[in-house]
Amino acid sequence: MGVEVKIIKQLTDNYCYIIYSNETKDALIVDPAEPNPILEYLNSENLLLKGILVTHHHSDHTQGVLEIKNKLNVNVYSPNSKIEGTTNLLMDKQTLDFEFIKFEIISTPGHTLDHIVFFCNKEKILFSGDTLFYYGCGRVFEGTYEIMLKSLNKLKLLPDNTRVYCGHEYSYKNLEFILDELVYWHDRGAVKQKIREMIKKRGSSMPFELGHQKDWNPFLNCDNPKYKQVIADFPKNEGKISKEASEIEYFTFIRDKRNEF
């Protein structure tokens, strides 16, 4: 049974995702902000919406929930009862089975305290919301850096071939940060141009492979001696961080730098 993911652009740089079965036409949506393009796609493909999935309470991920819920009379699965329209409250390690796809709920607080992600082991798909981005991670608004690091380390345990769909198109900016502030790459201009052209051609950098990010995402390498050495040796970081610094010290250093970038 083929499972497809349709990327729906929302607001300025947000993404909503429509997950559906080619065979049954059953569908789910993740983090709707603007209802119209979502409803139009569901209608054009004759998809049967079975539920709305929400990763966290921020309005740019939830403001389309109520209108879609009311129009199509579906359940809303969220981690926070205060999210308007919620019918089913989700908890860590819970399983959601929609027949055409089954998700494991993983609690990933840090960006917000209620944040969760949706992982399907069979399809090797992760909807990471604002926890994990291509070459980056979410800002820490409600949790602590320690909490966010723990959440990211949970995601590192998932299979390398997991395809990740995150909540925003931040990929170019994140890569620019890495190459300008953390890691020397002799051909960095060409590397940045390549991802810029890829996003322009495809309209999105989603999905990305988790295994690649385990190698390249600095927020997933705060315990990696080789990566720590590279960051400590980068000219802009000279004397600011030691290769002997702890995992949380490295995370704090690069998250603070990314906040200011």
CA 72 vs. chain centroid, Å, equals: 26
Residues of the chain with pLDDT under 50: none
Q: What HEC string does 205-253 produce?
A: CCCEEHHHHHHHCHHHCCCCHHHHHHHHHCHHHCCCCCCCCCHHHHHHH
Residue 2's pLDDT is: 86
Residue 139's pLDDT is: 98
Q: Is 135 left (phi over 0), alpha (psi -120 to 50) or beta?
A: left
175-205: b or e for each residue (b if 16 or more CB lie within 10 Å)? bbbbbebbbeeeeeeeebeebeeebeeeeeb
Residue 191's pLDDT is: 86
Tokens read off for 112? 């917000």
Q: What Å distances lie between residue 97 and 40, 116, 119, CA to CA?
A: 26, 16, 12
User: Smallest Cα–Cα separation from 106: which of 49, 164, 50, 36?
Assistant: 164
Please list the alpha-helical segments (H only) found in the chain: 35-44, 59-62, 65-72, 145-155, 171-181, 188-202, 210-216, 225-233, 247-260
| CA angle centred on 260, ends 33 and 233, rounded to 5° | 125
Distance CA 155, CA 189 (A): 30
Residue 1's pLDDT is: 54
The tens digit of pLDDT for each residue in 61-119 reads 999 999 999 999 999 999 999 999 999 999 999 999 999 999 999 999 999 999 999 99
**Helix (DSSP H) and strand (DSSP E) numbers for the chain:** 9, 14
pTM score, two decimals? 0.96
Domains of the chain: 3-260 (3.60.15.10)
